[in-house]
């Protein structure tokens, strides 16, 4: 009996010792994480983008990076790494330590890539943690002066009278613009041909020449032609009017049914990044996006500066993955 008691006491002491070691390791780990965050950032931070220079996302990131550098005292260096599905950029970020010094710009385009690609080489939900949204922007549905359409209602009426005969131009199949056109078919209950162009300049020419009766693209790309009266805006893609174009009706107002497409750009970090670092970055982004000068610069490009909590950004990504999967399946767009 005494021997049995001795064994039990020995086991208890071993268990207690193990728990003490585990607790100590946890405290050390948390202390190291807090210490790392306390000095963050102490060197330049890389922000890797999944597309080339010059677009809306690139402009948003550069304006935000400039302000973040001022706030946190270190340069935020933009690196453009275009490639199908944003895979090259994502893998580049995930190949680096999860310490907050290499970040990713993830967008609604990434949400589209999840259902669009058979073998996406990364999981944006499991392998990244959200930090904050930067901004949102609408797409514009516009027409050339020779189309005869003055409102979106005119186009919808004509599409119902002659289904399948009108053309709507977008950039590449699977782009946000392209899927927005696909979604309009469903919400407005109409049918038309979607013509994908290689790039925005070619698309603009096609709309101005009336090769396509309607085009869909970002405000920044269409601002000049609209000012010059070479394009007529028919509607903005958000569920309500855009802050950048308050005088333009939304597609929903113009008879497009329950149509709501808002594009977004957010900053993410690799999973495992210390929570304290996420908090530092989120606070700095919130302050940067609330700065009146930053808001004005972005609004001039059609972008509504809008930070978020990590949880809000996670929900936005998840919702968009679900939304665009349905559109892709309904449009029978083959996986790439």
Query: Are 134 and 60 spatial neighbours (Cβ–Cβ below 8 Å)?
Result: yes
265 vs 11, more confident: 265
76-81 contacts: CB < 8 A, separation 24 or more? 76/44, 76/45, 76/46, 76/47, 77/44, 77/45, 77/46, 77/47, 78/47, 78/49, 79/46, 79/47, 79/48, 79/49, 80/49, 80/51, 80/52, 80/53, 81/48, 81/49, 81/50
Evaluate if residue 44 carries a pLDDT over 50. Answer: yes
| pLDDT at 269 (0 to 100) | 98
Residue range 107-134, pLDDT digits in tens: 999 999 999 999 999 999 999 999 999 9
**Summary mean pLDDT of the chain:** 91
Domain borders along the chain are 45-137+262-330, 139-236
Q: What is the DSSP string of 276-330?
A: HHHHHHHHHHHHHHT-HHHHHHHHTTTEEE----HHHHHHHHHHHHHHHHHHHHH
Q: What is the DSSP string of 249-264?
A: PBTTTTT--S----EE
Evaluate if residue 158 carries a pLDDT over 80. Answer: yes
Rounded percentage of the chain residues whose pLDDT exceeds 90: 86
| pLDDT at 328 (0 to 100) | 96
| Domain pair 45-137+262-330 / 139-236, same fold | yes
Evaluate if residue 37 carries a pLDDT over 70. Answer: no
Query: Are 100 and 40 spatial neighbours (Cβ–Cβ below 8 Å)?
Result: yes
Residue range 286-299, pLDDT digits in tens: 999 999 999 999 99
**pLDDT-based confidence at 226, cuts 50/70/90?**
very high
Rounded percentage of the chain residues whose pLDDT exceeds 70: 89
Query: Are 129 and 98 spatial neighbours (Cβ–Cβ below 8 Å)?
Result: no
Evaluate if residue 27 carries a pLDDT over 90. Answer: no
Mean pLDDT of 261-268: 97
Evaluate if residue 33 carries a pLDDT over 70. Answer: no
Evaluate if residue 30 carries a pLDDT over 50. Answer: no
Residue range 133-147, pLDDT digits in tens: 999 999 999 999 999
Q: How many CB atoms lie within 10 A of CB 36?
A: 15
Evaluate if residue 303 carries a pLDDT over 50. Answer: yes
**How many secondary structure helices (H) and strands (E) does the chain include?**
11, 11
- Please state which of the four CATH numbers 3.40.190.150, 1.10.3720.10, 3.40.640.10, 3.40.50.1820 is assigned to the domain occupying 45-137+262-330: 3.40.190.150
| pLDDT at 145 (0 to 100) | 95
| pLDDT at 92 (0 to 100) | 98
Evaluate if residue 23 carries a pLDDT over 50. Answer: no
Residues 6+ apart with CB under 8 A from 62: 78
**pLDDT-based confidence at 34, cuts 50/70/90?**
low
| pLDDT at 1 (0 to 100) | 46
| pLDDT at 49 (0 to 100) | 98
Q: Which fold has domain 139-236?
A: D-Maltodextrin-Binding Protein; domain 2 (3.40.190)
Q: Which tokens go with 254?
A: 């113009």
Query: Are 302 and 82 spatial neighbours (Cβ–Cβ below 8 Å)?
Result: no
Evaluate if residue 2 carries a pLDDT over 90. Answer: no
Residue range 3-18, pLDDT digits in tens: 544 544 554 454 445 4
């Amino acid at each position: 009996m005494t021997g049995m008691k001795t064994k039990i006491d020995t086991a208890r002491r071993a268990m207690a010792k193990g728990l003490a070691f585990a607790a100590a390791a946890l405290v050390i780990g948390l202390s190291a994480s807090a210490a790392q965050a306390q000095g963050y950032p102490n060197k330049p931070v890389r922000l890797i983008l999944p597309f080339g220079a010059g677009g809306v996302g690139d402009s948003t990131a550069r304006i935000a990076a400039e302000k973040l550098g001022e706030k946190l005292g270190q340069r935020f260096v933009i690196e453009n790494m275009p490639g199908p599905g944003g895979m090259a950029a994502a893998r580049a970020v995930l190949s680096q330590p999860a310490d907050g010094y290499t970040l990713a710009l993830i967008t609604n385009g990434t949400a589209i890539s999840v259902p669009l690609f058979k073998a996406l080489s990364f999981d944006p939900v499991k392998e990244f943690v959200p930090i904050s949204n930067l901004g949102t922007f609408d797409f514009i549905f516009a027409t050339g002066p020779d189309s005869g359409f003055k409102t979106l209602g005119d186009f919808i009426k004509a599409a119902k009278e002659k289904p399948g005969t009108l053309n709507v131009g977008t950039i590449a199949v699977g782009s946000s613009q392209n899927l927005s056109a696909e979604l309009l078919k469903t919400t407005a209950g109409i049918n038309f041909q979607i013509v994908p162009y290689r790039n925005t300049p070619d698309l603009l020419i096609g709309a101005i020449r009336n090769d396509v009766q309607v085009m869909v693209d970002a405000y920044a790309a269409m601002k000049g032609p609209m000012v010059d009266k070479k394009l007529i805006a028919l509607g903005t893609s958000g569920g309500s009017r855009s802050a950048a174009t308050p005088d333009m009706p939304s597609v929903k107002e113009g008879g497009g049914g329950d149509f709501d497409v808002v594009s977004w750009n957010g900053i993410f970090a690799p999973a495992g990044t210390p929570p304290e670092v996420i908090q530092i970055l989120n606070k700095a982004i919130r302050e940067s996006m609330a700065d009146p000068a930053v808001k004005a610069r972005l609004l001039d490009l059609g972008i509504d500066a809008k930070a978020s909590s990590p949880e809000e950004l996670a929900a936005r990504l998840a919702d968009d993955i679900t939304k665009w999967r349905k559109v892709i399946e309904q449009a029978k767009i083959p996986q790439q």
